[in-house]
A and B are shown apart, each in its own frame.
Chain A
Amino acid sequence: MLRTQQLEYTYSGNKTIRFPDIHCEKGSQWLLLGQSGTGKTTLLHLIGGIRKPQKGKVFVADQVLNNLSSTALDQFRGKNIGIVFQQSHFVQSLTVGENLQLAQTLAGHSADLDRIKDLLNRLNIVDKINDRTNRLSQGEQQRVAIARALVNSPGLILADEPTSALDDENCREVIALLETQAKEEGATLVIVTHDSRLKEFFDHKIILE
């Protein structure tokens, strides 16, 4: 599902990071660990098609991301990769439901309210569908972010420090949700974190040094 080959990224300050090759099977769940400054977020952006590497290749669902044009990459990312960020950001002027609809239409799908309701139901926040996102608590916002990452049934779900702002209880809950939902959708899950609380939940680990 996800494969990298000799990835290298050079920052504008001429600092170059070489990343270990990764190979994640379809449906597998991975933890990408490392202290800050080891290029975790950069790697996540590289495999998410948000940033282009200077060297090496990224394969997602057998597609080489490097070869895609900017617009094609945007479309591919929208359809096949769901990303949950550390801070949950949304389009402020839209409600929870509208944000999810936007994710569907931007990826080139038509809006599917049943799918949205089903997802929100599974994440236990279906009653917030018509709320503005800034009215929600941190935990609720993170759930909406998960719902948004899942809404287009992507093959690959990436999560960037999804738990660092959460307390232990919320942390466990969010990880459990990510795990079960990814499993249910048959998606590959890669969580980037420096949060050592998560180590116990995952068998597959990639460690950056």
Chain B
Amino acid sequence: MNPLTLSWKNQKDRPLQMLLTLLLFGLGVGLIALLISLNTQLDEKFKNNLAGIDLVIGAKGSPLQMILSSMYHIDAPTGNISIKEVKPFLNPKHPLVKLAVPLSLGDSYKSFRIIGTTHEYVDSIFKGSVATGKRWEGLYEVTIGATVASKTSLKIGDQFHSSHGFADDGINTHDHGDGFKVVGILNKSNTVLDQLILTNTQSVWAVHDHEEEEKKAPEEATKEDHAHDHPHDHEDHADHDHSGHDHGDHEGHDHDAHDHSDHHAAASIVKPLTDYPDKDITTLLVRYRSKKDWRALNMPRSINENTDLQAASPAIEMNRLYSMMGVGTDALRNLALIIVIVSGLSIFISLFSSLKDRKYELALMRVMGASRNYLFFLIILEGLLFAILGYLLGLFLCHTGMSLLSGYLEEAYQYEFSGWRFFKEELWLLGGSLVIGFVAALIPAFQAYRTDISETLTTY
């Protein structure tokens, strides 16, 4: 009969007490582990997706909302900006801007966002690569992220209609001809890219222009959540060189207020965005030539003060968000710590009260040859046993909880979370649990050590 078996049998003999103590300990440990897992994974994902973007330029509004919507694709955009306004940044010779990638948001398919952008979004920003097929080229061609492919089971050659807004409610489905066509699937990148459907900016415009055309009566109830607020005064379209366009296809449509350049015809020739100064995009992602250039550092302020645009730094905004969320996670962490301390106390009480019942037993064991040290060791072992079992229960709760949560989190944050990833912090947690078990058992163990055999045997 080794001490471990004995301490296990001693605890098992009081199953309810043991269950309560273990549950308390497990909850505390589980909560801490869950916070660690959640924090680490969120932090990782946010950092991964910063992707070297120094500045986001968009419509005025909440800078955090703008960052969340165009960097992480979790919030609604703040509005649109016209290409005319951001034209200087799109100039490849801009002295401060190395890279400026436009984003147009507004549509989704099965709650995966459709992003109108350029190839640089994949190549330069996320360093993504194509797994099968190719990158989007012509109008209505899309390349989809790895997660989109696996969740929607879209394949190359498949066509789909997008819905307006980001909710998959099936109400605002665009219905224009053949819809989008999948031409490529990206490799998994563990960035937000996995969750996106990518096309060119012109395709996003085209979908909405059609809608505008088809919606003769302007009873646009859904207008509010339109990211794309297409201005109806397109008088200056005449300035453009649309000579190659064929308007013949659109004879069935009512073009009264609009003089759209034909997007179907543009399918083969997608022109640079600067050719459409009156069209809108949602935001522009900017990478500086040099982060140390003081002019670059002044750029956001100058944009915010002198133009109708808003510029915000993702790093600054995310730090702001962290410090705000930090209060919540700190509170949760403290709560978990309190639970762990209380459970340590309950280990202490459990051992202490059981010792009272077992006083005679302990004296008897001394008579049978057990030394003082043996009894001390035995009680410490019982405390450690609680700690280890509670810790294991906690990890189990944490990881099952996390894998249950991950589905919900994926929807909310557009990222995949894994419930079965283990962190080195969990080893620290094991160390902490053992310390708590040891400390909780210390006084009872000392009590057992001091048991006076003769007195106990005569009194009880």
Interface residues of A (CB under 8 A from B): 41, 45, 48, 50-51, 70-71, 74-75, 77-79, 83, 85, 87, 89-94, 98, 101-103, 105-108, 111, 148
The answer, yes or no, to whether B338 is at the interface (CB within 8 Å) is no
Q: Is the CB of A108 within 8 A of B369?
A: yes
Q: Which residues of B contact A89 (CB under 8 A)?
A: 360-361, 364, 460
Bound state CA distance, A90 and B370, in angstroms?
Answer: 14
Bound state CA distance, A5 and B391, in angstroms?
Answer: 56
Q: Scoring B residues 162 to 184 as 1 if CB is less than 8 Å from chain A, else 0, what string do you get? A: 00000000000000000000000
Q: Is the CB of A75 within 8 A of B371?
A: yes
A-B contact pairs, 17 of them (CB 8 A): A45-B457, A45-B458, A50-B453, A50-B454, A75-B371, A89-B360, A91-B10, A92-B13, A93-B10, A93-B12, A94-B9, A102-B368, A105-B1, A105-B2, A106-B368, A106-B370, A106-B374
Q: Scoring B residues 342 to 382 as 1 if CB is less than 8 Å from chain A, else 0, what string do you get? A: 00000000000000011011001111111111100000000
User: How far apart are A153's CB and chain B's nearest CB, in angstroms?
Assistant: 14
Q: Is the CB of A41 within 8 A of B458?
A: yes
**A-B contacts besides A85-B457, A91-B365, A111-B1, 11 pairs, CB < 8 Å:** A45-B458, A75-B369, A89-B361, A89-B364, A89-B460, A93-B12, A93-B13, A94-B1, A94-B6, A106-B374, A107-B369
Q: Is the CB of A101 within 8 A of B454?
A: no
Q: Is the CB of B1 within 8 A of A98?
A: yes
> Quick one: given A45-B457, A89-B360, A92-B13, are A71 and B371 in contact (CB under 8 Å)?
yes
- Scan residues 2-28 of chain B and give those whose CB is less than 8 A from a CB of chain A: 2, 6, 9-10, 12-13
User: How far apart are B4's CB and chain A's nearest CB, in angstroms?
Assistant: 12
Contact of B6 among A48, A83, A102 (CB under 8 A): A102
Bound state CA distance, A111 and B5, in angstroms?
Answer: 14
Bound state CA distance, A94 and B361, in angstroms?
Answer: 11
Closest to B6 in A: A102
Q: Which residues of A contact B12 (CB under 8 A)?
A: 93
Q: Is the interface of B mostly helix, strand, loop or mixed?
A: helix
Bound state CA distance, A70 and B450, in angstroms?
Answer: 12
Please report the total number of B residues contacting A with Cβ < 8 Å: 27
User: How far apart are B302's CB and chain A's nearest CB, in angstroms?
Assistant: 77
Closest to A88 in B: B364
Contact of B365 among A45, A75, A93, A106 (CB under 8 A): A106
Q: Which residues of A contact B358 (CB under 8 A)?
A: 92
Bound state CA distance, A94 and B6, in angstroms?
Answer: 8
Q: Is the CB of A77 within 8 A of B1?
A: no
Q: Which of B2, B358, B367, B374 has the most chain A CB atoms inside 10 A of its CB?
A: B367
Q: Is the CB of B364 within 8 A of A77?
A: no
Q: Is the CB of A78 within 8 A of B457?
A: no
Q: Which residues of A contact B371 (CB under 8 A)?
A: 70-71, 74-75
> Quick one: given A91-B364, A92-B358, A93-B12, are A51 and B454 in contact (CB under 8 Å)?
yes
- Scan residues 174-196 of chain B and give those whose CB is less than 8 A from a CB of chain A: none
Bound state CA distance, A75 and B365, in angstroms?
Answer: 11
Q: Is the CB of B372 within 8 A of A70?
A: yes
- Scan residues 419-460 of chain B and give those whose CB is less than 8 A from a CB of chain A: 453-454, 457-458, 460
Q: Which residues of A contact B457 (CB under 8 A)?
A: 45, 50, 85
Closest 9 CB pairs of A and B: A78-B369, A93-B13, A107-B369, A51-B454, A106-B369, A71-B371, A106-B368, A93-B9, A74-B371
Closest to B374 in A: A106
Bound state CA distance, A45 and B363, in angstroms?
Answer: 12
Q: Is the CB of A74 within 8 A of B1?
A: no
